[in-house]
A and B are shown apart, each in its own frame.
Chain A
């Protein structure tokens, strides 16, 4: 999938017409947004804590190689096996290799944006290995064949009726759409069998803690504990930027993550994994593998886009964004949506393919205000727009008209003759004071571009008519 300007506009307009989706987006983003405000208000000196966190993230990225090596050393000492993947394909190959070596047929997965990013499920399925998503929202969209529509609530675009129908189709059991506990219980029973039968568990990772070589996973459902405790092998795929040098840093990270995300002080489970089960442990996986994923991240270090790697994927910027709240996640054409998606997708997957995303913003700055790491997303959206012009990824007519406009606006004379010319040219399209543009130029047709007025304000001013009207008191 991609999201060029035309594609983004088109899918956004489809989303805006979808009344059900609009109310789901409104409900979820409002709930998360106000939950966030309340949860942070309860923390002493929280603004200073965010400043501190920003410094931690920035200092960590400046010395990332050093911290990753420390992580590798300590994780290895604890018995974990650390792998490095330069690309998404490499990461998939590493995971597939491990699965095949153990003759795995069934894999349980906990929610992971990194594995969405590299399309791991498709690779496993093709090799005859069944991947089962176990986060309830992820399972729902897996059954539906949809991509996630929100970083932390992947199935907000699905209604209870659609979900009940899919569950019935999948399990053969009748369930009422109005019985949400019943739907949840059914998912519990079906997925519990998968957990117990799986030969391997795959997770993402919220934080790699260098000091002890530990991996931190946060969740509410408990599936991320089952995925990492029940099968004999656990594989985690983690973006290389998700690193905290010490537990002090990780504690601040965790203090901000759930509060910014769902408005909880901590998620129900904060699961910390340091190597495989020890010989004296009664249970737990025999092997733990950690795949450190680059996939375009390392080349951002030292550039004007480095800051985007400070992201902890809390989703707060999505909930705050007026564009996301209307357009929904799917319009972004990749697993990362909202303001963070608009910046990171072009950087990781190509500006040409995602050229619409830097424009999917009103630059209101709400994302920066709510970001726990105070990431300046609006700045980077502008940088990306500038890059688009420089790299000429915009359609020729768009950059031509922008150049022409810049030229015309710079000279009063040209402006006058230019507008006079447009007044003549717009005639066939003008209908009253509106323009009737072809659909390609005005997707959705819900708003009409106004036509140029018959006389310019400059003209009217010069004629003195305004003096007569308003000057008579």
Chain B
């Protein structure tokens, strides 16, 4: 008998009828999702910059990239940046567009200063941004560079992980990550240190749309 059958048979021999409880629904009711998102993410050592509209958000990104003295930037080719020619918009930087640019994305990301991404959703309660893989959406872009910069419209804010999962549709892609701050650790004498393996800074430009 295969290990699979052996294990499943063992489990089945003790199977009992069970009433699976109805889903637990969110009890949250935040008066201002953007406010809560900003508060929580900031408390978790992330950074939030508010912008009045998409144009203003692009200007903020320009300012941040210059402030960071970035040279090489990798960008995910996804909403709300997908219609944009980043090379034209921000000619001061060397760009790698995931899914479009030629060359090895892994080595570009390993040497990039900033990874720029959009987001699928944002959770107000926990200050989290949901980033997925997919066509034009690299995982390493938001992981290897020391800074992860995300541009997020307020319309994709949802209350919390419960409301987010309740609204799910279809099968997810290969990877989906909820990011709630910069990489951190407290493994040495419980002292907080920022930026151990992932990005050292996580900056969200949150704009009204």
Contacting A at CB under 8 A, from B99-158, are: 99, 105-106, 110, 125-128, 133-140, 143
Counting CB contacts under 8 A, is A155 at the interface? Answer: yes
Return the chain B residue nearest A222 by Cβ: B198
B188 and A184 contacting across the interface, CB-CB below 8 Å: yes
* Nearest CB of A to B192, in Å: 9
Counting CB contacts under 8 A, is A102 at the interface? Answer: no
* Nearest CB of A to B184, in Å: 5
Return the chain B residue nearest A163 by Cβ: B188
Q: Residues of B contacting A214 with CB < 8 Å?
A: 172
A55 and B161 contacting across the interface, CB-CB below 8 Å: no
Counting CB contacts under 8 A, is A78 at the interface? Answer: yes
Counting CB contacts under 8 A, is B56 at the interface? Answer: no
Contacting B at CB under 8 A, from A284-323, are: 284, 292, 294, 298-299, 301-302
Q: Residues of B contacting A66 with CB < 8 Å?
A: 15
Cα distance, A278 to B176, chains bound together (Å)? 13
Counting CB contacts under 8 A, is B52 at the interface? Answer: no
Interface string of B178-209 (1 = CB under 8 A from A): 11111111111111011111110000000000
B193 and A181 contacting across the interface, CB-CB below 8 Å: yes
- Chain A: number of interface residues, binned into ranges: 35 or more
Known: A55-B21, A84-B4, A294-B7. A278 touches B189 (CB 8 A): no
Q: Residues of A contacting B179 with CB < 8 Å?
A: 268-269
Partner-binding segment picked from B23-31, B63-71, B82-90: B23-31
Interface string of A237-268 (1 = CB under 8 A from B): 00010000111111110110000000011111
Counting CB contacts under 8 A, is A414 at the interface? Answer: no
Q: Which of A45, A55, A266 contacts B178 (CB 8 A)?
A: A266
Q: Residues of A contacting B11 with CB < 8 Å?
A: 64-65, 68, 298, 301
Return the chain B residue nearest A110 by Cβ: B197
Interface string of A357-386 (1 = CB under 8 A from B): 000000000000000000000000000000
Interface string of A132-147 (1 = CB under 8 A from B): 0011110010000000
Cα distance, A159 to B193, chains bound together (Å)? 15
Q: Residues of A contacting B10 with CB < 8 Å?
A: 294, 298-299, 301
Counting CB contacts under 8 A, is A59 at the interface? Answer: yes
Q: Residues of B contacting A246 with CB < 8 Å?
A: 23
A283 and B24 contacting across the interface, CB-CB below 8 Å: no
Contacting B at CB under 8 A, from A151-193, are: 153-156, 158-160, 163, 180-181, 183-185, 187-188, 191-192
Counting CB contacts under 8 A, is A273 at the interface? Answer: yes
Counting CB contacts under 8 A, is A275 at the interface? Answer: yes
A191 and B197 contacting across the interface, CB-CB below 8 Å: yes
Cα distance, A158 to B186, chains bound together (Å)? 12
Return the chain B residue nearest A137 by Cβ: B187
Known: A134-B197, A298-B11, A301-B14. A225 touches B177 (CB 8 A): yes
Counting CB contacts under 8 A, is A226 at the interface? Answer: yes
A155 and B174 contacting across the interface, CB-CB below 8 Å: no
* Nearest CB of A to B203, in Å: 14
Q: Residues of B contacting A155 with CB < 8 Å?
A: 187-188
A265 and B125 contacting across the interface, CB-CB below 8 Å: yes
Q: Which of B14, B182, B197 contacts A188 (CB 8 A)?
A: B197
A272 and B176 contacting across the interface, CB-CB below 8 Å: yes
A86 and B15 contacting across the interface, CB-CB below 8 Å: no
Return the chain B residue nearest A306 by Cβ: B14
Cα distance, A31 to B191, chains bound together (Å)? 11
12 contacts between A and B (CB under 8 A): A65-B11, A68-B11, A140-B188, A221-B183, A222-B183, A229-B175, A266-B126, A266-B178, A267-B180, A281-B138, A281-B174, A284-B139
Q: Beyond A53-B24, A255-B162, A268-B180, list 13 extra A-B contacts (CB 8 Å).
A: A27-B190, A56-B21, A65-B11, A84-B4, A159-B189, A183-B193, A214-B172, A229-B139, A251-B165, A265-B127, A281-B135, A281-B175, A283-B106
Interface of B with A (CB < 8 Å)? 2-4, 6-8, 10-21, 23-24, 27-28, 40, 44, 98-99, 105-106, 110, 125-128, 133-140, 143, 160-162, 164-166, 168, 171-191, 193-199
Interface of A with B (CB < 8 Å)? 24, 27-28, 31, 44-45, 49, 52-53, 55-56, 58-60, 62-66, 68-69, 78-79, 84-86, 90, 134-137, 140, 153-156, 158-160, 163, 180-181, 183-185, 187-188, 191-192, 195-196, 212, 214, 220-223, 225-226, 228-230, 240, 245-252, 254-255, 264-278, 280-284, 292, 294, 298-299, 301-302
